[in-house]
Amino acid sequence: MSKRKLKKYLSEIDKGAIEEQLLDLYERFPEVKEYYNFIFNPKEDKLVQEAKTKISNEYFPVKRRRPRARRSVAQKFIKHFIKLGVDPHLIADVMLYNLEIAQVFEKDHNLPDAFYKSMMNSFTEALRFVSVNGLLAEYKERIVKIYSTTQDQNWQFGEGFSRALDIID
């Protein structure tokens, strides 16, 4: 159904029917419930803290022995936060946190090329996000530190990290 047809349908039915349908959607779909819970009670700091905990658990697990070090966990949170409309400052914080925790993890582990390429992609995405949202002044120090660490630890794809910095220039 197109947006236009939906608007026409909603204009033709009465308010009570719309309320019933919304309540039905709220009960049936967890995404709808989560959206409305966020809209009416946005505990952004709590959501960000939970995300950071789960991201760090990927690299430094509490309950299991082996770290998984999956970038996808952080990416899911970031996409979800963007969809919910979380404050861009907090999204950028999570993006940079993911890179920082990965760098701490990398110091003590021998990792495949895919890890470094993945982190380079995360770095590029974070820089784009920071640049588009005008947050460079706030996060410049952390970005430079992340970049310096990649160079000091001789990360693979160092040139890619350098090219990513061109985004903010």
115-155 pLDDT tens trace: 999 999 999 999 999 999 999 999 999 999 999 999 998 88
- On whether both 7 and 61 belong to a single domain, the answer is no
Tell me, yes or no, if the pTM score tops 0.85. no
- On whether both 96 and 147 belong to a single domain, the answer is yes
Query: Rounded to whole angstroms, how far apart are CA atoms 60 and 127?
Result: 25
Alpha carbon 72 to chain centroid distance?
A: 10
pLDDT at 159 over 90: no
| CA distance readout (Å), 22 to 33, 36, 97 | 10, 10, 37
Query: Rounded to whole angstroms, how far apart are CA atoms 156 and 140?
Result: 22
Band (pLDDT 50/70/90 cuts) for residue 29 is: very high
| Angle (deg, nearest 10), helices 136-152 and 158-165 | 160
- On whether both 73 and 100 belong to a single domain, the answer is yes
- On whether both 74 and 33 belong to a single domain, the answer is no
pLDDT of residue 48: 93
Q: Provide the domain limits for residue 162.
A: 42-168
- On whether both 52 and 18 belong to a single domain, the answer is no
- On whether both 140 and 156 belong to a single domain, the answer is yes
Band (pLDDT 50/70/90 cuts) for residue 1 is: confident
**Average pLDDT, stretch 22-37?**
89
**∠ at Cα 161 (58, 82), nearest 5°?**
55
- On whether both 63 and 131 belong to a single domain, the answer is yes
pLDDT of residue 169: 67
- On whether both 27 and 46 belong to a single domain, the answer is no
Query: Rounded to whole angstroms, how far apart are CA atoms 42 and 40?
Result: 6
Count of domains forming the chain: 2
Per-residue pLDDT tens digits for 68-121: 888 889 999 999 999 988 999 999 999 999 999 999 998 888 888 889 999 999
pLDDT at 19 over 70: yes
- On whether both 19 and 85 belong to a single domain, the answer is no
**107: nearest Cα among 145, 149, 58, 61:** 149
pLDDT of residue 70: 84
Query: Rounded to whole angstroms, how far apart are CA atoms 136 and 129?
Result: 10
- On whether both 49 and 116 belong to a single domain, the answer is yes
- On whether both 146 and 116 belong to a single domain, the answer is yes
Query: Rounded to whole angstroms, how far apart are CA atoms 168 and 165?
Result: 6
- On whether both 53 and 101 belong to a single domain, the answer is yes
